[in-house]
Structure 1
Amino acid sequence: MRKPETIERLYLDFDGFFAAVEQQCDRRLRGRPIGVVPFDGTDRTTVIACSREAKAYGVKNVMPVREARQRCPGLVLVPQKPDLYRRAHNALLSEIETVIPIDAAKSIDELTCRLDEADRHDPVDLARRIKVAIRENIGPWITCSIGFAANRQLAKIACKEGKHSKGSYGDGLAIWDPEDMPEPLFAVPLDDIPGVGSNMKVRLQMAGVVTTEELYSLQPKHMRKLWGNVTGERLWYALHGYDIQAQPSGRGMFGHGRVLPPDSRTVPAAREISRLLLTKAARRLRRENYYAGGLWLWLSTRSGTWLGKTELPIVRDDQAVLKALTGLWGQVEKAFPRGVMIFRVGVTLYDLSPASERQLDLLLRDDRTRQRWENISQAIDELNARYAGTVVSLGYWNPPKGGHVGGKISYTRVPSAEDFW
């Protein structure tokens, strides 16, 4: 395994991305503390993103609006505009690629690049050129923090540390040369190490590991044992500066979830929204050429989370998945005969198989019916693609208040244009 002797990776993270895009596009919001919320007109929701001005008051992402207003009475609430953020993402990547090729967009607000020989010798100038391209061609309200290191994982950690350097937030720069390591890494809290979540932190503490330096001092096999798989050993090599390449990840599921507006928190309203979300998930399933063998429906209620699942006969058409969803809502009505207040609803198609590997259920013998429904779903998809919108659907199409069905702020993937039809 190769251990680079110089920096080879750049990791870039846009600062307060969603709020910054709002400020760049609406001059009335510039310089003001703003919080991006799922929908307008109510305090019974959560701030899902906030500007640096709001963060200075102690407002944080995923904070209840009422608490955020207590910390920052002048907080301006802005309903989310997911399609705007998607278009801003594409525009920003286009500008960055005029300076350096992008190796991978890790999320809508993070990306990584490989460095050539010239950039390795002058990372400060490279960071300056990237920031100048964004400032002059997009605007000054969208800034980014950049980390340089021997591998992607260390560059990501450096980027996060640079974001909060010198007592300020954003527009940072951190360069971790291999010859200076591992001292900069030891200053990083254990919580900020990618792969150390809350549960893993507890497990490490039980093993006597409470600092990053103590984690660094473990042996690779010991970390593998603590994690229970090869992820721990791979993290050891990453922290020690080895060139660890991310393992290709296969598609595991297609799903959508949504926080419900106050007037849509009944069983009938949540059921209708789940139907639209599942239709969107099935469209994505077909676009990426998969079949699904199972469906989850999950609900967040005042008393906790309800989860139901059902098997599917390896399908991809709207009729089959919507029929299965109807059965799951029947379970909900049995579980809550008097009704229940639902705050969030989600649907997930899982147990995926590529279209080329589909295996039919010989006992079910419904392939002819399935093919007919698949042809209908394909015809619907083609019509919607022609008009870049949902003009045809299986059942009534009435998106809920507060934005797009299936197209929302995403921290784990970059939405496509089709998500907003």
Structure 2
Amino acid sequence: MKRYYPKNGRVILHVDMNSFYASVEMAYDPSLKGKPLAIAGDPKQRKGIVVTCSYEARKFGVKTTMPIWEAKKRCPELIVKPPNFDRYRTLSQAIFNILREYTHLVEPVSIDEGYMDITESYEWGTPIEIAEDIQKRLQNELDLPSSIGIAPNKFLAKMASNMKKPMGITILRKRDVPVRLWPLPVEEMHGVGEKTAAKLRTIGIQTIGDLAKANDIQLRSLLGIIGVRLRERANGRDDRKVDPESVNERKSIGNSMTLPQDAESEEELSEVTHKLAEKVSSRLKERGLLTTHLSVMIRFRNRHTITRSKKLDSPTDSVGDIQRISRALVLEHWNGTPVRLLGITAQDLVEKEEAYKQLDLFTYQKEAKIEPLLETMEKLKEKFGSQIIQKGFPRS
């Protein structure tokens, strides 16, 4: 079997579970199979937003992050169930236990997807045979569908797994990139979101192929080091290794400042907090990382030092978010004593490419607050036309 594996390169699998939360609910309750199903918060009150939905629901236009009232409007027969995170974590552990039977080089990316380096796993068969065996086992043993990408690196494996859903297996080689990836719109590339795609279009980049051929200096000016990295990926190059320990090794990025004169007012503390937030944000963006946990350190004139932290609802590298949250922490725990040193640390870091909005029960409650407004806007548009409500801009 070794002849089916490259002599110098690697063979990477990206295993991506299909509609994971909905699939888990179907595995526990087979009567839900084949029906339009959405997992969302507080379904009895039609509040909250859709976390995920079955492919049957997607046919009606139901999408992730859509308010329940809108999903119900598009699909009156939609079955809405609340999330069961303990159940999802249990099944996630079972999934990765199966993957680790084939290789110790398994890197979880999130609860329902991960990378595998099977370069030395040839005793299990060819790469396609291993992928087929994994997919069958996940289906037969856990009753969970999956899609798998096979490629020489992580980026191409991720792109491949997205090409055929549900229950697909796709091989993507570097030589396939010009034909299979370059014609695609740039926003379909893993790691390019709507905002980044909009920026790229300002310099004439419409497709992945345009990005692959773009000028490095222009990209660096527009997006920083991330722009150059995206160009490399668009050309099918990615030297990141599959790291089993990455899920446990969440490094931090922090900055602290000993003040020339002790700060004695909220204005002074806010000014220092802003400077620190700018530095932390800049370093996060340089490394392509987002933080999910912020902490502040306050050292008073008497050298007494405290640290306080806050978990974030969604990953961020925004200087505004970091400054706002850090400032609130500082002012909440400042006792009026002059401050000698302030520090901000971004913790529990995730790669920007892999980050996704964490939709938990707390997020549902926050999102639900704006639903009455959204519903009213929708009714106005239906009655008076889509142009009746436009986005407003502040006057200068």
Q: TM-score range by the shorter chain?
A: 0.5 to 0.7
Residue correspondence of structure 1 range 260-271 to structure 2 within 5 A: none
Hey, what's the Cα distance between the residues in 2 that align with 1:213 and 1:63? 32
Residue equivalent to 2:204: 208
Residue equivalent to 1:161: 163
Partners of 1:296 and 1:309 within 8 A in 2: no
Q: Secondary structure at the match of 1:182?
A: helix
Structure 1 letter corresponding to 2:132: R
Number of residues of Structure 1 aligned to a counterpart in Structure 2: 280
**Shift in alpha-carbon separation, 1:223–1:171, aligned structure 2, 3 A:** same
Residue correspondence of structure 1 range 157-196 to structure 2 within 5 A: 157-163=159-165, 170-196=166-192
Q: Deviation of residue 187 (structure 1)?
A: 3.8
Q: Secondary structure at the match of 1:63?
A: coil
Structure 1 gap segments, 5+ residues each: 164-169, 254-280, 283-290, 299-304, 314-320, 328-349, 355-402, 409-421
Residue equivalent to 2:13: 10
Structure 2 letter corresponding to 1:351: I
1:111 pairs with 108, 111, 114, which one? 114
Partners of 1:89 and 1:109 within 8 A in 2: yes
Structure 2 gap segments, 5+ residues each: 1-5, 255-292, 295-305, 314-320, 337-342, 348-359, 366-396
1:22 pairs with 25, 31, 37, which one? 25
Cα RMSD (Å): 3.9
**Shift in alpha-carbon separation, 1:297–1:181, aligned structure 2, 3 A:** closer
Residue correspondence of structure 1 range 29-178 to structure 2 within 5 A: 29-117=32-120, 119=122, 122-139=126-143, 142-163=144-165, 170-178=166-174
Hey, what's the Cα distance between the residues in 2 that align with 1:34 and 1:220? 45
**Shift in alpha-carbon separation, 1:161–1:91, aligned structure 2, 3 A:** same
Structure 2 letter corresponding to 1:37: A
1:352 pairs with 298, 320, 345, which one? 345
Of 181-190 and 205-214, more deviation after overlay is shown by: 181-190
Q: For each residue in 1:363-397, what CA deviation from the matched residue of structure 2 results, as whole angstroms up to 9, or x when unmatched?
A: xxxxxxxxxxxxxxxxxxxxxxxxxxxxxxxxxxx
Q: Deviation of residue 47 (structure 1)?
A: 1.4
**Shift in alpha-carbon separation, 1:126–1:221, aligned structure 2, 3 A:** farther
Structure 1 length as normaliser, TM-score?
0.58
Residue equivalent to 2:233: 238
Structure 2 letter corresponding to 1:71: R
Moved over 6 A (4+): 403-408
**Shift in alpha-carbon separation, 1:55–1:232, aligned structure 2, 3 A:** same
Determine what percentage of the aligned residue pairs are the same residue: 26
Hey, what's the Cα distance between the residues in 1 that align with 2:7 and 2:215? 20
Residue equivalent to 1:250: 251
**Shift in alpha-carbon separation, 1:101–1:130, aligned structure 2, 3 A:** farther
Structure 2 letter corresponding to 1:53: E
Partners of 1:150 and 1:242 within 8 A in 2: no
Hey, what's the Cα distance between the residues in 1 that align with 2:22 and 2:176? 35
Q: Secondary structure at the match of 1:245?
A: coil
Partners of 1:6 and 1:178 within 8 A in 2: no
**Shift in alpha-carbon separation, 1:242–1:145, aligned structure 2, 3 A:** same
Hey, what's the Cα distance between the residues in 1 that align with 2:76 and 2:335? 44
Hey, what's the Cα distance between the residues in 2 that align with 1:89 and 1:26? 17
Q: Deviation of residue 231 (structure 1)?
A: 1.9
Structure 2 length as normaliser, TM-score?
0.61
